[in-house]
Amino acid sequence: MSSLLITGATGFLSGAVLAKALSENAFDHYLLLVRASSAEEGLSRIKENLQRFACDEKSLSSLSLQNIIIGDLAEPDRFLNDERLLEVTHVINAAAVASFGENALIWKVNVEGTLKFARRMANVRKLKRFLHVGTAMSCIPEAGALVTESITHKEEEEHLVQYTWSKSSIEQLMLEQCPALPLVIARPSIVVGHSSLGCRPSSSIFWVFRMALMLGKFMCSLGDKIDVIPVDYCAEALLMLVKRRTVEERVYHVSAGDERSVSFAEIDRAIADALGQPPLSSDYRQVDYEDLIQCRREFKTIYGPCNERLMLRAMRLYGEFSRLNVRFSNKKLLGLGMPHPPRFVDYIRHCVETTRGTSIPEMMKVDFK
Ligand SMILES: NC(=O)c1ccc[n+]([C@@H]2O[C@H](COP(=O)([O-])OP(=O)(O)OC[C@H]3O[C@@H](n4cnc5c(N)ncnc54)[C@H](OP(=O)(O)O)[C@@H]3O)[C@@H](O)[C@H]2O)c1
């Protein structure tokens, strides 16, 4: 009997994974690690999230309290003795504090708690695969590069945010300290929207593109490219990587690659098209962060009520990433038979549609928890 343990299923990536797995009857049983004060609350949090993925009634009603394991990776000792863990055959571990904000829990959860969890799972006899979800950005890519998967570890000072440092550190620690763990690492690039549901499941990162274009200036040039995939493609890849009997590599990018990455000029045109307005094109200006600071007084007029300091912080962080102009090679994943993802600009209209009437400050909350 196959039993999949998913962490982070109240979130964006694992929510998509669970919705897809249930619709395909991919596993015989599911165990879902959730933060909640009771199994009832945990189940209801999971179902609420599945509804954002348009999960059908049959799938929703197939879940019961038996599927819920209450637990917090900040306090893993409280759930690691649960006997149901002994029956787990596969794990997709995507729970993390996935925030560019400053959050004291980032290290505690993403590194310390996750390492304890991995050590525990390394002792589960029936476990066939532990798929850990990292992030492609954790390797500190060189600007302009087509990045291939590697497990080199860069110093903390080189990381733009603590989040990528924590994601890089946990990979290294699991490799060093859990030799018995059947570990495979999937590193998604930038996950934005869903190829048919747009931003209904989450507005994560989509607001950055809208924010920059509404301002008419940002730190990247329109010629720079960005590697974006939709969450349903990411879920399909994660399920393939966890289920596949043998995989030769330790690390896989889940990404658009060189072929399906898109330029900001294409994004400008596609968003303008969806909004029924002309693109910025030559009216757009590439600026540095100091120029963005100069126009902070305009923010409230452009974006509505907002916290100027938070907007500037977001612009600096995402601006630095946007001008990296990196693509992540997906050759290894394609080599396993995974199809190419759709291009961001091919489903961007759904993202525009599903965020119509939602302000930038409202949309960005999800990334600044
Ligand atoms: N989104 C992207 O573009 C992207 C790109 C590359 C990699 N990733 C990776 O993908 C994974 C999932 O990201 P996401 O975008 O789905 O993030 P998300 O929507 O913020 O979901 C995070 C999930 O982790 C859970 N979690 C957080 N802290 C926890 C704790 N202390 N104990 C147990 N569960 C906890 C959250 O539970 P609560 O609901 O209780 O908070 C939620 O279910 C992360 O590991 C991230 O690094 C994401």
**Model confidence pLDDT, tens digit, residues 171-196:** 999 999 999 999 999 999 999 999 99
Q: What does the pLDDT average to over 133-144?
A: 91
Cα–ligand 1 centroid distance for 235 (angstroms): 13
Q: Is it true that domain 3-195+227-260 has CATH number 3.40.50.720?
A: yes
pLDDT confidence bin for 60, thresholds 50/70/90: very high
Residue 152 has pLDDT above 80, yes or no: no
The predicted-structure confidence for 12-30, as pLDDT tens digits, reads as follows: 999 999 999 999 999 999 9
Which pLDDT band, with edges at 50, 70 and 90, does 318 fall under?
very high
Q: Is the CB of 341 under 6 A from ligand 1?
A: no
Answer whether 135 contacts ligand 1 (Cβ < 6 A). yes
76-91 pLDDT, tens digit per residue, is 999 999 999 999 999 9
In the chain, CATH 3.40.50.720 covers 3-195+227-260
If one compares 130 and 367, the residue with the highest pLDDT of the two is: 130
Q: Which of 106-120, 131-145, 209-223, 257-271 has the lowest mean pLDDT?
A: 131-145
pLDDT (tens digit per residue) in 196-216: 999 999 999 999 999 999 999
DSSP collapsed to 3 states, the chain? CCEEEEECCCCHHHHHHHHHHHHHCCCCEEEEEECCCCHHHHHHHHHHHHHHCCCCHHHHHCCCHHHEEECCCCCHHHCCCCHHHHHCCEEEECCCCCCCCCCCHHHHHHHHHHHHHHHHHHCCCCCCEEEEECCHHHHCCCCCCEECCCCCCCCHHHCCCHHHHHHHHHHHHHHHHCCCCCEEEEEECEECCECCCECCCCCCCHHHHHHHHHHCEECCCCCCEECEECHHHHHHHHHHHHHCCCCCCCEEEECCHHHHCEEHHHHHHHHHHHHCCCCCHHHCEECCHHHHHHCHHHHHHHHCCCCHHHHHHHHHHHHHHHCCCCEECCHHHHHCCCCCCCCHHHHHHHHHHHHCCCCHHHHHHHHCC
Say if ligand 1 is within 6 A of residue 253 CB: no
Does ligand 1 have an atom closer than 6 angstroms to the CB of 116?
A: no
Q: What percent of the chain has pLDDT over 70?
A: 100
Q: Can you give the pLDDT at residue 150? A: 87
pLDDT given for residue 110 in this prediction = 98
- For the segment 340-355, what is each residue's pLDDT rounded down to a tens digit? 999 999 999 999 999 9
Q: Which ligand 1 atom is nearest residue 163's CA?
A: 47
Ligand 1 contact, 234 CB (< 6 A): no
Q: What is the mean pLDDT of residues 65-70?
A: 98
Q: Does residue 101 register a pLDDT over 80? A: no
Kindly tell me if the per-residue pLDDT of 369 is higher than 80. Answer: no
> Average per-residue pLDDT in the chain?
96
Ligand 1 centroid–CA 73 distance in Å is 11
Q: Is the minimum distance from the CB of 360 to ligand 1 under 6 angstroms? A: no
**Ligand 1 atom at shortest distance from the alpha carbon of 369:** 20
Q: Is the CB of 98 under 6 A from ligand 1?
A: yes
129 within ligand 1 shell (Cβ under 6 A)? no
Which atom of ligand 1 is nearest to 167's Cα? 47
